């Protein structure tokens, strides 16, 4: 049995992110105890998982979700009582999350990993209220759509034990994810900061009238985004250098790149800019339905993941 294998998990909060985690866990045959305070949480969760399942099948899941493995409970403490992994997906509210994590810490077995899906809050903040086992509390931040995108950022706080960080990384890998270890707490972790840097310049280019929303989307989707979906920015730079690799790229393009950094924009997200961005997206999409667009995106990503899995040369 794999070192990361688990049999029981708890998912606390079953909105968009939590439902993605439930689908991921059920596809791996893990028994899930779920909790969400919203109305008809059981019905909404089953509907979300059912909606995810065509994509899950393309990823190798069984023909139908085994809802016999799913229990939706009316108390978070009861949900985590037997869990090996607790995945918390509450709102990005510091006080609420600290209180909720403390409640989960008080009820979960001592060896359980308690992971928050927080996209920006540092784990030291969310583990601050834990008096029992703060060493097993960390951030396990996925990416939307959670049931499809492999990346999970694992971030330990000041009180997190190295053994629990290693355990979380192993569990996520066993679930079919591609976890990375973020070694220091920083707002937004790693991938969101990289996204924010791109969005910052994209918004600035629109604000300054340099390019339209559609042209910027095309520039990424039909340009560097194709390479980035296969290899990361550093390895792509390395390959751009030919025989000289990254050293040649840095020597050749490094100085002008530093000049470009100095010229990057610092937009203010005003109401006017927000309206321009929204109008630009509407113009780009025309009468395309969001559901059709998302389904097409997911199908392409599934095929891309399958193709990448066959290429042993890729890191």
**Tokens coding 31:** 């028994």
CA atoms within 13 Å, Cβ hemisphere of 46 = 10
pLDDT band at 2 (very low <50, low <70, confident <90, very high): confident
Per residue in 84-140, pLDDT (tens digit) is: 999 999 999 999 999 999 999 999 999 999 999 999 899 999 999 999 999 999 999
Angle at 230 between CA 226 and CA 236, to 5 degrees: 85
pLDDT confidence of residue 3: 85
Per residue in 14-59, pLDDT (tens digit) is: 999 999 999 999 999 999 999 999 999 999 999 999 999 999 999 9
Instruction: Name the strands in the sheet holding 70-73, side by side, starting at the edge strand that comes first in the sequence.
Output: 70-73, 31-35, 8-12, 85-88, 113-116, 137-142, 151-156, 178-182
The Cα–Cα gap between 273 and 43 comes to 39
Per residue in 62-73, pLDDT (tens digit) is: 999 999 999 999
- Which domains are delineated in the chain? 8-182 (3.40.50.720), 191-309 (1.10.1040.10)
pLDDT (average), residues 252-274: 96
The Cα–Cα gap between 110 and 83 comes to 10
pLDDT confidence of residue 276: 98
Per residue in 138-149, pLDDT (tens digit) is: 999 999 999 999
The percent of residues in the chain predicted with pLDDT above 70, rounded, is 100
What backbone phi and psi angles, to 5 degrees, belong to 183?
-85, -15
CA 33 to the chain's CA centroid: 21
SS (H, E, C) the chain: CCCCCCCEEEEECCCHHHHHHHHHHHHCCCEEEEECCCCCHHHHHHHHHHHHHHHHHHCCCCCCCCHHHEEEECCHHHHCCCCCEEEECCCCCHHHHHHHHHHHHHHCCCCCEEEECCCCCCHHHHCCCCCCCHHHEEEEEECCCCCCCCEEEEEECCCCCHHHHHHHHHHHHHCCCEEEEECCCCCCCCHHHHHHHHHHHHHHHHHCCCCCHHHHHHHHHCCHHHHHCCCCHHHHHHHHCHHHHHHHHHHHHHHHHHHHHHHCCCCCCCHHHHHHHHHHHHHHHCCCCHHHHHHHHHHHHHHHHHHHHCCCCCC
Q: What is the pTM of this model?
A: 0.94
CA atoms within 13 Å, Cβ hemisphere of 110 = 1
């Amino acid at each position: 049995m794999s070192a990361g294998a688990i049999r029981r998990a708890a998912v606390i909060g079953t909105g968009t992110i939590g439902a993605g985690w439930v689908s991921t866990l059920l596809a791996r045959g893990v028994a899930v105890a779920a909790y969400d305070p919203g109305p008809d949480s059981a019905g909404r969760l089953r509907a979300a998982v059912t909606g995810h399942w065509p994509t899950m099948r393309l990823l190798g899941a069984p023909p139908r979700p085994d809802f016999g493995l799913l229990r939706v409970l009316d108390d978070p403490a009861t949900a985590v009582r037997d869990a090996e992994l607790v995945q918390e997906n509450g709102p990005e509210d510091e006080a609420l999350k600290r209180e909720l994590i403390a409640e989960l810490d008080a009820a979960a077995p001592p060896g359980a990993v308690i992971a928050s899906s927080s996209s920006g809050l540092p784990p030291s903040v969310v583990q601050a209220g834990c008096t029992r086992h703060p060493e097993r509390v960390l951030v396990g931040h996925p990416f939307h759509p959670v049931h499809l995108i492999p990346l999970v950022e694992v971030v330990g706080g000041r009180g997190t034990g190295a053994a629990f960080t290693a355990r979380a990384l192993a569990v996520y890998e066993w679930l079919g994810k591609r976890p990375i270890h973020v070694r220091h707490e920083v707002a937004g972790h790693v991938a969101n900061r990289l996204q924010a840097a791109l969005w910052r310049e994209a918004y600035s280019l629109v604000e300054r009238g340099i390019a339209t929303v559609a042209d910027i989307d095309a520039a990424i989707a039909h340009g560097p985004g194709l390479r980035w979906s296969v290899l990361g920015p550093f390895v792509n730079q390395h390959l751009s250098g030919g025989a000289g690799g990254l050293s040649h790229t840095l020597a050749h393009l490094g100085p002008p790149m530093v000049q470009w950094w100095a010229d990057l924009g610092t937009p203010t997200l005003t109401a006017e800019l927000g309206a321009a961005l929204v109008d630009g997206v509407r113009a780009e999409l025309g009468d395309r339905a969001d559901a059709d667009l998302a389904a097409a995106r997911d199908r392409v990503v599934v095929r891309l993941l399958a193709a990448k899995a066959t290429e042993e040369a890729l890191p």
